[in-house]
Structure 1
Amino acid sequence: MVHLPVRPMIGTIWSAPAAETRHAYVYDVNNCGNIDCPELGPGHTIYLPVRIPGGMISLGDVHACMGDGEITGIAMETAADVHLRSDLVKASGSQYLGCLQIESDRTIGSVGCHFGRPLGENVKAAFRDLVLRLHRFHGFSVVDAYELLGQVAEVRVHQTLDHWNAVLVKLDKRYLG
């Protein structure tokens, strides 16, 4: 018998798009969606863009455990009572640049989730976004930000199935100085 750790996570979190859509399960950088990111669990914050008054956040697809890549297309599904706090951060006070942001007490990260794009493109998008965040908000030159991430960044592939390719590039906050 194999015992698996319980690491609860939200697979799908979504802010309503500006225009009506039928594909809420599809993700994108404008609204998020089904990114199946193991980092979306207790103690983490996600920054989502708000496209309509009230934001209309929805969530679901909660897992008790899921490995990186979700290579089987499923995870350990579970029922859940989710407690979350929602705050509105005005654009002027935000570090949102174009990719979704996930943060914990220990790390900052950018999510590459351009639906239908190859995994490599989403990795590059997340790295570019994090480089710009380090440059604009943490005092790094662009070159120094690239150099730092090239040495200590962590890349976590959430999904890699057909056209479902989502990835988190994160950095330990101790490197922010």
Structure 2
Amino acid sequence: MRLILASASPRRLDLLARIGVIPNAVIPAEIDEAPRKGELPALYARRMAAEKAAAVAEPGALVLAADTVVAAGRRILPKAEDEEEARSTLALLSGRRHRVLSAVTVVDPAGTARHRLSTTMVSFKRLDATEIEAYLASGEWIGKAGAYAIQGRAEALIKAISGSHSGVMGLPLYETRALLRASGYPIG
């Protein structure tokens, strides 16, 4: 069965390899990722995963797509693109809990779409200015939802996590494995 990963994320490829899954093709979905006015974080994550899967679907192939959103309350935090945006996001997350919503969609060869959503609570320690500046200097935050990468230096700044560590990285493996199996993909 041909498996297409609708993502350019090297982390998602690495995470899939952890469960013995190697996609036959990697085709990043070219879609508009702007949230709709008033769109809640969970609905946005689900919509993005579904739209990414639909954008690269091809007859007879299994398509896997995902989207990860960092949310503070009802607010969707951006994928940090510059230091000022990253600094303000890290200051917002400092000393508080936030949610990481990781949605997965699998479209089977018959066109049936299956969806799962992983919600993880993450608590950052209270960050002082020196810690924020040191993290910014690492560059790990560039392009990351919530301006951090849990698989890097930020892990030492996280007091607690309740949920899926792989989901915070960008692909919840429990949900992904379940969807692949339900779609007929040969996975142990």
TM bracket, shorter-chain basis: 0.3 to 0.5
TM-score (norm 2): 0.33
Q: Quick check: which one's strand share is greater?
A: 1
TM-score (norm 1): 0.34
